[in-house]
């Protein structure tokens, strides 16, 4: 059950104040009867809501693909920094959250939703969801690094080891003169600063990091950093 004004605001028919006005104006019908009270509780799964003769169906969950820009934090609220949720400028629902975290300086694919069950499935280590990152690295990445990453590396210390699960490293380009490399790394975990720490363990430094994919979801090349769009039905089904 949900309040009629919340139902309409969630479906982006207006702000809470605007939809209250529309309801009082008699423009909203519930099961064929004009509903004049914004606080009317309705069953969003069964009752039929019409606004200006248009049927409004309730979507319980929202799914956005964001190309996270550097400089914003993966949180719902923050005292000092802009959050990824603030980038969703539509009349966004209050219960949206980012699925997992990217560092403040990391760019790329971030799913924003209010579907807790899906988030759990994508993040739970038990489900082994691949996350693929593109990185520019200071240092020459070698076949030896590939082999070490495949075995898993210690990203902790000698005294407090923290072993990663295997990661698949692909070398895209090596610039011997500049001493830099471009790589793709696919991992299934999400330890704190994991990609950066894996390269640190190999004596190299990540200077740019972008997430390219998560499970079946791939970053849309048309989205510039800071842009987002709703997931398509196909993307949602494949998740």
Residue ranges in contact with ligand URA by CB under 6 A = 102-103, 106, 193-196, 209
Nearer Cβ to ligand URA, position 180 or 194?
194
**Shortest Cβ 194–ligand URA spacing (Å):** 4
Nearer Cβ to ligand URA, position 120 or 193?
193
Nearer Cβ to ligand URA, position 87 or 102?
102
Which active-site residues does the annotation give? 103
What's the CA gap between 30 and 39, in Å, rounded? 13
Q: What is the largest CA-CA distance in the chain?
A: 74
Cβ atoms < 10 Å from Cβ of 57: 8
**Shortest Cβ 171–ligand URA spacing (Å):** 18
Give strand pairing partners of 206: 137
**Shortest Cβ 198–ligand URA spacing (Å):** 8
Q: Which two tokens stand for residue 168?
A: 């698949």
Beta carbons within 8 Å of 108's beta carbon, 6+ residues apart: 67, 68, 102, 133, 134, 209, 210, 211, 212, 219
């Amino acid at each position: 059950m949900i309040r009629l004004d919340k139902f309409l605001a969630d479906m982006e028919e207006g702000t809470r104040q605007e939809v209250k006005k529309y309801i009082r104006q008699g423009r909203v019908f519930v099961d064929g009867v004009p509903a004049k009270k914004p606080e009317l509780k309705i069953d969003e799964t069964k009752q039929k809501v019409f606004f200006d003769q248009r049927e409004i169906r309730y979507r319980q969950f929202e799914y956005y693909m964001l190309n996270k820009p550097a400089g914003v934090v993966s949180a719902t609220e923050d005292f000092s920094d802009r959050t990824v949720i603030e980038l969703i400028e539509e009349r966004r629902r209050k219960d949206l959250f980012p699925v997992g975290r990217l560092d403040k300086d990391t760019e790329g694919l971030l799913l924003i939703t209010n579907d807790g069950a899906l988030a759990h499935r994508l993040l739970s280590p038990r489900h082994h969801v691949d996350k693929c990152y593109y990185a520019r690295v200071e240092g020459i990445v070698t076949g030896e690094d590939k082999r070490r990453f495949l075995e898993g590396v210690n990203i902790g210390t000698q005294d407090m080891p923290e072993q990663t699960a295997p990661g698949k490293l692909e070398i895209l380009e090596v610039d011997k003169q500049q001493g830099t490399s471009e790589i793709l790394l696919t991992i299934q975990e999400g330890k704190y600063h994991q990609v950066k720490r894996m390269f640190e363990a190999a004596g190299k430094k990540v200077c740019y990091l972008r997430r390219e994919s998560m499970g079946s979801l791939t970053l849309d090349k048309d989205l510039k950093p800071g842009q987002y769009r709703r997931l398509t039905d196909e993307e949602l089904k494949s998740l």
